[in-house]
Structure formats: structure tokens, C-alpha cells
Amino acid sequence: MQLVSITLLSFVSAIILAVTFAGFFSTFRYLEVTSDFRPYWLAIGTAIVLLMPLVWPQMKAWRRWRLAILVTAVTIVIVNGYAVLPWLWASKPDGAHGSAQTRLKAIAFNVESSNTRYDEVCAFVERESPDVVMFCEASGKWASELFPLQRVLPYHVREDSMDIEIFSRQPMGPAQVFHFGPQRGFVTVPLNVRGHEVVFAASHAYPRHWLGAAGFRWRNEMLEKGLGEAANSLQSPLIVMGDLNVSPWSPSYKAMIQGSRLEDGRRGFGLLPTHHGHTRWLWRPIDHCLHSPELSVIRMWTGPDLGSDHLPVLAELRLPQ
């Protein structure tokens, strides 16, 4: 029985250690996907460390094994904890400070093309009363079902090639479309928010495994080159929202942040997982709100389950004077 327990602990700890370090390799999409699940690796490593004092006395005959298991588990906790815990412990902005300054409320939602809960989605948006909202995967009937939102958000842009919809309460300037591959990319629109100029980018990137290696390459080009160049070339503050199909622990995500100087609105508000793939078990934070440094996020949170495999992302931002 002891041998079985040791073998099981050794196997689990070795596998989790392997996938922990596999997530650092951005070249291979089948390895990079493991970076999305670092909170789970951290939880498993912590469980093994906490379990070791209970089994340690019964493992006297396998001293080297128990030490190896303990070292492996501690390494798992340190590596994944270094990546995950700052998102939980970061200080939150003071929402009351500067309350007289101009604010913007935005929503991003991947509605999922097969989802049919149109009325609930529209009611949710009207209830939240945002300044701007973007939808992706808004194909099929979604275009017509979302159209009534123009009663409360009169300015509207649709990009058919990407199935992206943008509705705004504030006046919008001409849209610019940035394609990466045939079906994904981002759309930028200038917004005039009570006299403040800001650019809103509605984004939808390819999943890692959709369209194979080409889709993975287009996703990385959009993140690292497309959004980076857009952020560095614009004179106005930039807000990027949408389904980027990448977690904050991906090497491609980190390269995008470093190249664009954008900041992640999620920081200080928890992990905010948004995607579950209808499994309800493995959640990932792949829907984002990124912003220029001169903007600040007062609050960021997720909305209710509205039938999609994604949750809506909501953010309230403070605009610079």
C-alpha cells in the first residue's frame, strides 16, 4: 500500500512539474496551453505539500523518494505561486478617489454563435447601461437580435468578416479594421466620451488549436505585433477588450504587454476566469480589458452566465483629465 501511495505521489508531482515548465514554451501551442491552468497546478502542488507531513513517517524506507516528492511539490508551488498570486494580492484602485473625473463603463462578451439567449443578453446590457459594449461570435441571428440595443446605444458598428458588433452611447468616429488571418483580428473606433477622446478596440483572436499552426501564428501576430503597434502609434488613450484566447501567464501575452505598454485591468481584482468550454471544471481567464497607462480601472468584474461558454467582462475606467 505504501509503495502504491509513493508511486502515485511521484507520478502526480512529476507530471505537474512537467506541465508547469511546459507553459514557458510559446513556440509550441500544445505546450503553451498548459500555462492557462497555473492556478490548478498551484492548488495541486499545495495539496501535495500539505499531504507530505501525514505520509512522511510511513515513508522511512523510501527517504530519497519522499525528499524528491517534497522538493518537486515545493518547486511547483513556488513557480506557479510566483505567476498566480500577484493577481490575487495586487492592491485595488480607490474607486472613491477622483469621483468627479470622467468615467467610462464598458462590456465585452463572446456570445458564442450557437447560443440563443438573445433576450437575456439584451436585457443584461440594458440593465448594466454601459457607455460601450462589444460582442464577438455574433453570427447568424445575433446581428438582428442585437439590433434593438440601438434604442439605448445609438451608435453602432458591425464588422461582418469577424462577426464583431460595437454599440456605443457616445459618438464614434470612423472604424478601422485590422485582419489577422481570414476571420479574426480587431476593430478600433474613436469615442468622444463627454469631451474626452479615447480609442476602443474590439478584439477576437484565434484559439490556439483552431486552424492549426496557422491560427496559432495569426493569434500571436495579432497580440504581439498588431495590438502592440496600435497601442504605440495612437495619440489617444486606448482600451482593448474582447476574447484574446490567451491567459495572463502565456509567454505571448507577456510579450504583448511588454511591446504595447498596455496594462491589464484585471490586476487587483482577482483572476476573474471567463471561459469554461461548457465543462464547468476548467475555467480560464482569456477575456480581457487592457488599457493605456494614462487610464485607470476603478472596477472590473464578470457578468452572469448567459448561455455562452464565456462570461461577460465588465470594466469601469477613469479617463485622464
Q: What is the pLDDT of residues 92-117, one digit of tens each?
A: 555 444 455 789 999 999 999 999 99
CA 198 to chain centre: 21
Which domains are assigned to the chain? Answer: 2-89 (no CATH), 103-318 (3.60.10.10)
Lowest pLDDT segment from 52-56, 71-75, 218-222, 279-283: 52-56
Residue ranges with strand state E in 6-111: 103-110
Q: Do the strands 164-168 and 132-136 form a parallel or antiparallel pair, or are they unpaired?
A: antiparallel
Q: Is 134 left (phi over 0), alpha (psi -120 to 50) or beta?
A: beta
CA dist., res. 17 & res. 285, Å (int): 22
Contact 45, 71 (CB under 8 A): no
Q: How many helices (H) and strands (E) does the chain have?
A: 9, 12
Mean pLDDT calculated for residue range 26-38: 88
| pLDDT 10s digits, 2-25 | 555 677 888 889 999 999 999 988
d(CA 274, CA 248): 12
Spatial distance between the Cα atoms of 248 and 311, rounded to a whole number of angstroms:
17
| Cα angle 237, 189, 284; round to 5 | 75
**Dihedral (Cα; 105, 110, 115, 119), 10-degree rounding:** 10
Does 84 have pLDDT greater than 50? yes
Tell me the β-bridge partners of 210. none
Enter the pTM of the model: 0.91
Question: What is the band of 208 on the pLDDT scale with cuts at 50, 70, 90?
Answer: confident
Say how many C-beta atoms besides its own lie within 10 A of residue 30's C-beta.
Answer: 11
| pLDDT exceeds 90 at position 57 | no
- How many C-beta neighbours within 10 Å does residue 106 have? 26
With contact defined as beta carbons under 8 Å apart, do 129 and 153 qualify?
no
pLDDT for res 96:
43
Structure-model confidence comparison of residues 131 and 98, the more confident one: 131
CA nearest neighbour of 44 among 68, 15, 66, 24: 15
Look at residue 226 and tell me whether its pLDDT is greater than 50.
yes
User: Cα separations (Å) of 175 from 111, 112, 179, 278?
Assistant: 22, 23, 13, 33
